[in-house]
Amino acid sequence: MKKQRIGWIGLGNMGTPMALNLLKAGFEATVYNRTESKALPLVEKGAALATSIQELVDGSDIIITMVSDDAAVKAVFEAPGGILSCSGLSGKLAIDMSTVSPDTTKYLAGKASELGLAYLDAPVSGSVKPAQDGQLVILVGGEKAHYELAKPIFDCLGKMAIHLGASGAGNSAKLAINLMLAFYFEGMAEMVLFANQKGIATADMMAILNEGAMGCGISKIKTANLVNNDFTAAFALKHLAKDLRLAKEQGLSTNVGLQIEENYRNASTSGLGDLDSAAIVEFLAKQGR
């Protein structure tokens, strides 16, 4: 069966390796990015470069967006020259893989439907390395038939794709899993700081964690960051702070959840936003917690 033609918008730290994996799998892809130079690694691997979103739509059956936040995805769809202003949308499928509010998805899915454009929300769980390795977990909301149409694409991008329900369900699941991630980062940070107060080295405490029942993939991945105090971002703290804000807007109301949201919000605005999300330990250390 002939593979669908892919149009890809958004070539950041996640979008570039994901789009590369589709090219490796033999998909025909057209790419568009506001900063054209970011598209060059894809063009070198065989992607076509669109100079406008209309050109990308013309050469695509499925349009995938992977951008930073709600404002960015709304701009891609609604700004002059954006997806929803293009001709020839009827019968095509848009897949937004960004982490945004379920409300944004429902709004854009409704607008797309009026033009005959199907719409899935499909945010991913996983950061840059899983994106490079095609090992993301893809959380999908929208019509099941559209999910089945997109499944060959998801199979190239991740180790699992799961259909969770109607539009916005993928977004809700992503906010939930990132809430858990924030809990875990906060817990590791508080563990390390408490142990340090008692004279126990961070390296020793992380070894105890990793060799016990509470160790996991994320604790092992972040051990070097905590031990070396190197918080070069794999998943920037400001992005997790944004996700926690979205969860709060969607009804997060537990005492601990709200405290962690506040901590990440304040850490982001205090100059730590571009560091890795595990840098919450630096914020908490300054707060004396």
Tell me the catalytic residues.
174
- Rg of the chain over Cα atoms, rounded to whole angstroms, equals 20
Q: 237-249 vs 169-197: helix axis angle to the nearest 10? A: 120
Burial of 110 (0-12, 13-18, 19+ CB in 10 A): exposed
Burial of 25 (0-12, 13-18, 19+ CB in 10 A): middle
